[in-house]
């Protein structure tokens, strides 16, 4: 059984070009829940995410726990062009010098709908398929904490829709933090939604829309919420 | 392939026409027929020397590649080396191989070693700089991903940075294949007792311009075939190179 962790932010501080972007930012992202961090570009939401991955600094002791490993997924699929889909899924094992669990990798490729493409090179795959391989690679890492930085931003609408569905299903039970600037994505995927906006940048209250994820977004109350979120982001960006 | 044959035939025709029209004496510019005869008469002699030049090119390529690769790897791994050696390596390019070729002959003798050294020296820099650039320009996203995976440093170099640098390295090797023959022939010009460069120099001194041309054509053909072979090899080695995918 999975024993997920909650993520904490204490007095986080980010200075950009000599100007403080945010200071004394505190937050908790709940264990085992899918949290979407929503905000306009340039508010430092990616930096917060990177801080949890150990890739950026937002002040001493600001992020806890300090994780030696996380499952990480970025907007760029970051597939190695010299490896086939299977090799990309097991990249982590190969970089740690471990023996790759090929059965597990094949099973994950099947779960993302690419069972018959295990031997395909990245340049033979479509953008959506490539991001599916990246999702399988993220799952192969099998970490309690999954950090995603606008993973579906570069995809067309139907492809994005299907991948959101896959992500919601396959990442259930883990502590997921997903950064996005798309309120619709946040409403579709987030158990909890936090808006990061304003000047100085502040983190809004936890918003927990009704219904199981992935939400179909055909509910009027969700549309009203989307309008409200867009307003908050727009005000924050001004 | 057909295009290459047409270009070659066109070139020979133009050459023939030029000689016939100007009536230039054969000891200044021999016609294609005379060169063909010189080639046929001296086929064994030319082949013997061509084999030596070819050996010099291949061995020079091997030594230069090995040196360039190890140098780039060392530079990529150590900041200390980068700071102290990189300016030195760049500065070394200010000295043309032509200028130090006589020294190579003095130090390594008239034999094949000084020619291998000249060829290796001339390709060292393009290989080292191409590979080093490739290693230094690993996509930052890959390195982030590797860190979140808890990757080991030597494995990042071997399994992430090295393969990402391969397309750049392939370009460097292609350049090397094009200029390695120059290095070998420079070596032969400043002092040799065999090789196509030696044949050309000696025939020139004896006013056997037809033989100079015969050797020159063999050298050019060699260089072209060598380049084409290396080019094929690199394409097969780096199938994800955008250059090939775009074709």
The ipTM estimated for the assembled molecules is 0.89
Shortest CA gap B157–chain A (Å):
9
Q: Do B166 and A82 touch (CB under 8 A)?
A: yes
On whether any CB of chain B is under 8 Å from the CB of A92, the answer is yes
Position A155 scores a pLDDT of: 86
Nearest by CB: B152 against A71, A72, A97: A97
Q: Is A153 helix (H, G, I), strand (E, B) or coil?
A: coil
A12-25 confidence digits (pLDDT tens): 888 877 777 888 88
The rounded percent of chain B whose pLDDT value lies above 70 is 98
Q: Average of pLDDT values for B139-160?
A: 91
Position A154 scores a pLDDT of: 82
**A199 versus A31: which is more confidently predicted?**
A31
Beta bridge partners of B140: none
Shortest CA gap A69–chain B (Å):
5
Q: Do A69 and B160 touch (CB under 8 A)?
A: no
Q: Do B147 and A70 touch (CB under 8 A)?
A: no
Q: Do B149 and A91 touch (CB under 8 A)?
A: yes
Position A207 scores a pLDDT of: 87
Band of pLDDT at residue B79, cut at 50, 70 and 90: confident
What homologous superfamily is domain B51-245 in, according to CATH?
A: MetI-like (1.10.3720.10)
Band of pLDDT at residue A71, cut at 50, 70 and 90: very high
Band of pLDDT at residue A1, cut at 50, 70 and 90: very low
Q: Which residues of A touch B151 (CB under 8 A)?
A: 92, 95-96
Position B238 scores a pLDDT of: 87
Q: Kindly give the pairing relationship between strand A202-203 and strand A192-197.
A: antiparallel
Position A138 scores a pLDDT of: 94
On whether any CB of chain B is under 8 Å from the CB of A81, the answer is yes
- Which CATH number is A1-70+146-238 given? 3.40.50.300
All CATH 1.20.1580.10 domain ranges in chain A, comma separated: 79-142
> Is the model's pLDDT at A237 over the cut of 70?
no
Looking at 1.20.1580.10, 3.60.15.10, 3.40.50.720, 1.10.760.10, the CATH number of the domain A79-142 comes to: 1.20.1580.10
> Is the model's pLDDT at B247 over the cut of 50?
no
Position A229 scores a pLDDT of: 87
> Is the model's pLDDT at B245 over the cut of 60?
no
Separation CA A152–CA A148 (nearest Å): 9
Partner A, chain B 140-199, Cβ-Cβ below 8 Å:
141-142, 144-152, 155-156, 159-160, 163-164, 166
Q: Do B150 and A96 touch (CB under 8 A)?
A: yes
Q: Do A121 and B163 touch (CB under 8 A)?
A: no
Q: Are B134 and B165 in contact (CB under 8 A)?
A: yes
Q: Which residues of B touch A97 (CB under 8 A)?
A: 152, 155
> Is the model's pLDDT at A73 over the cut of 90?
yes
Closest CA to B134 of B185, B186, B180, B171: B171
Position B151 scores a pLDDT of: 92
Position B174 scores a pLDDT of: 92
On whether any CB of chain B is under 8 Å from the CB of A52, the answer is no
Q: Do B163 and A54 touch (CB under 8 A)?
A: no
- Compute the count of residue pairs across chains A and B with CB atoms less than 8 Å apart: 66
Partner B, chain A 111-170, Cβ-Cβ below 8 Å:
121-123, 141, 147
Q: Which residues of A touch B145 (CB under 8 A)?
A: 72, 74, 78, 91
> Is the model's pLDDT at B64 over the cut of 50?
yes
Shortest CA gap A124–chain B (Å):
10
In order of A92, B138, B208, the CA distances from B160 in angstroms are: 11, 8, 56
> Is the model's pLDDT at B11 over the cut of 80?
yes
Q: Do B144 and A72 touch (CB under 8 A)?
A: yes
Q: Do A68 and B146 touch (CB under 8 A)?
A: no
Nearest chain B alpha carbon to A121: B240
CA A47, distance to chain mean position in Å, is: 13
Question: What phi and psi values does residue B106 have, to the nearest 5 degrees?
Answer: -60, -45
- Cα dihedral B195, B198, B202, B205 in deg (nearest 10): 150
A177-231 confidence digits (pLDDT tens): 999 988 999 999 999 999 988 877 888 888 888 888 888 888 888 888 888 888 8
Q: Do B144 and A53 touch (CB under 8 A)?
A: yes
> Is the model's pLDDT at B246 over the cut of 50?
no
Separation CA B195–CA B118 (nearest Å): 14
Q: Which residues of B touch A74 (CB under 8 A)?
A: 141, 144-145
A110-122 confidence digits (pLDDT tens): 999 999 999 999 9
Q: Do A95 and B144 touch (CB under 8 A)?
A: no
Separation CA A156–CA A138 (nearest Å): 21
Band of pLDDT at residue A39, cut at 50, 70 and 90: confident
Q: Average of pLDDT values for A72-100?
A: 94
In order of B24, B38, B41, B200, B242, the CA distances from B214 in angstroms are: 18, 7, 11, 9, 39
> Is the model's pLDDT at B241 over the cut of 70?
yes
Q: Which residues of B touch A125 (CB under 8 A)?
A: none
DSSP chain B: -HHHHHHHHHHHHHHHHHHHHH---TTTS--HHHHHHHHHHTHHHHHHHHHHHHHHHHHHHHHHHHHHHHHHHHHHH-HHHHHHHHHHHHHHTTS-HHHHHHHHHHHH-SSHHHHHHHHHHHHHHHHHHHHHHHHHT--HHHHHHHHHTT--HHHHIIIIIHHHHHHHHHHHHHHHHHHHHHHHHHHHHHS-SSSHHHHHHHHHHTT-HHHHHHHHHHHHHHHHHHHHHHHHHHHHH-TT-HHHHT-
Q: Which residues of A touch B246 (CB under 8 A)?
A: none
Position A236 scores a pLDDT of: 61
Q: Average of pLDDT values for B17-43?
A: 89
Please name the helix (run of DSSP H) or strand (run of DSSP E) that holds residue A10, with its range, or none. strand A7-16
């Amino acid at each position: 059984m999975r024993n997920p962790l909650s993520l904490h932010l204490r007095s986080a501080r980010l200075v950009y070009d000599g100007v403080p972007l945010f200071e004394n930012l505190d937050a908790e992202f709940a264990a085992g829940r899918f949290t979407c961090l929503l905000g306009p570009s340039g508010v430092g939401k990616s930096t917060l995410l990177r801080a949890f991955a150990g890739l950026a600094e937002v002040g001493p002791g600001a992020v806890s726990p300090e994780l030696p490993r996380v499952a990480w997924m970025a907007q760029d699929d970051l597939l190695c062009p010299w490896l086939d889909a299977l090799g990309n899924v097991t990249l982590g094992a190969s970089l740690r010098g471990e023996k790759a669990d090929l059965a597990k990798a094949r099973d994950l490729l099947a779960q993302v709908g690419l069972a018959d493409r295990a031997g395909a090179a990245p340049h033979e795959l479509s953008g959506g398929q490539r991001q599916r391989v990246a999702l399988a690679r993220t799952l192969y890492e099998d970490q309690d904490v999954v950090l995603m930085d606008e993973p579906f931003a570069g995809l067309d609408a139907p492809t994005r829709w299907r991948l959101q569905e896959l992500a919601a299903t396959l990442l259930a039970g883990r502590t997921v933090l997903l950064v996005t600037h798309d309120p619709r994505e946040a409403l579709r995927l987030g158990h909890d939604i936090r808006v990061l906006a304003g000047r100085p940048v502040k983190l809004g209250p936890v918003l927990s829309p009704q219904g199981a994820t992935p939400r179909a977004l055909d509910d009027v109350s969700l549309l009203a919420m989307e309008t409200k979120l867009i307003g908050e982001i727009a005000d924050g960006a001004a | 392939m057909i295009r290459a044959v047409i270009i070659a035939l066109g070139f020979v025709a133009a050459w023939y026409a030029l000689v016939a029209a100007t009536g230039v004496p054969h000891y200044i510019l021999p016609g294609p027929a005379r060169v063909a005869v010189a080639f046929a008469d001296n086929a064994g002699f030319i082949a013997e020397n061509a084999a030596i030049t070819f050996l010099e090119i291949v061995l020079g390529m091997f030594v230069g590649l090995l040196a360039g690769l190890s140098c780039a790897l060392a530079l990529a791994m150590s900041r200390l080396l980068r700071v102290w050696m990189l300016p030195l390596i760049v500065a070394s390019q200010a000295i043309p191989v032509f200028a130090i070729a006589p020294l190579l002959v003095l130090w390594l003798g008239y034999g094949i070693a000084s020619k291998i050294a000249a060829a290796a020296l001339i390709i060292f820099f393009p290989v080292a700089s191409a590979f080093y650039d490739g290693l230094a320009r690993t996509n930052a996203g890959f390195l982030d991903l590797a860190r979140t995976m808890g990757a080991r440093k030597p494995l990042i170099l071997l399994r992430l940075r090295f393969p990402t640098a391969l397309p750049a390295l392939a370009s460097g090797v292609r350049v090397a294949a094009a200029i390695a023959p120059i290095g070998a022939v420079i070596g032969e010009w400043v002092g040799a007792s065999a090789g196509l460069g030696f044949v050309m120099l000696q025939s020139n001194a004896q006013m056997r311009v037809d033989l100079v041309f015969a050797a020159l054509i063999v050298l050019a053909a060699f260089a072209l075939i060598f380049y084409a072979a290396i080019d094929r090899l690199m394409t097969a080695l780096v199938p994800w190179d955008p250059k090939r995918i775009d074709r």
